[in-house]
Amino acid sequence: MNESKKKVLLSLGHLVKQRRIALGISQEELGLRANLDRTYISGVERGVRNPSLTALVNIASGLGITVSNLLDHLEIQSDKVE
């Protein structure tokens, strides 16, 4: 995986995890809300999964936000993730 793709996926995972923790819910609960397996949520948060658009929609919905809101600071985060 090239470095820029890795940074973006790590940044996305960080944003998902931040939102999930702010809601005080587990990966399992987010998975239930998003209709995705807990292991899939874990993979997204660790930056090892590249979620499809439909998975992103489900994750954002599970977090109670829009996709655009979830991705609002992705570029800023991707510059910080190493």
Element (H, E) at 53: helix 53-63
Q: Indicate whether 79 pLDDT > 80.
A: no
Q: Which domain holds residue 45?
A: 3-80
> pLDDT for 17-59, tens place per residue?
999 999 999 999 999 999 999 999 999 999 999 999 999 999 9
* CA-to-CA dists, residue 70 to 1, 2, 12, 28, 40, angstroms: 23, 23, 8, 19, 17
Tell me how many domains the chain contains.
1
pLDDT band at 82 (very low <50, low <70, confident <90, very high): low
pTM as predicted:
0.89
pLDDT at residue 43, as a whole number = 98
pLDDT at residue 4, as a whole number = 87
CATH number of residue 32's parent domain: 1.10.260.40
Q: Indicate whether 73 pLDDT > 90.
A: no
Beta carbons within 10 angstroms of residue 11's beta carbon: 21
Calpha distance 65→19 (Å, rounded) = 9
Calpha distance 27→40 (Å, rounded) = 9
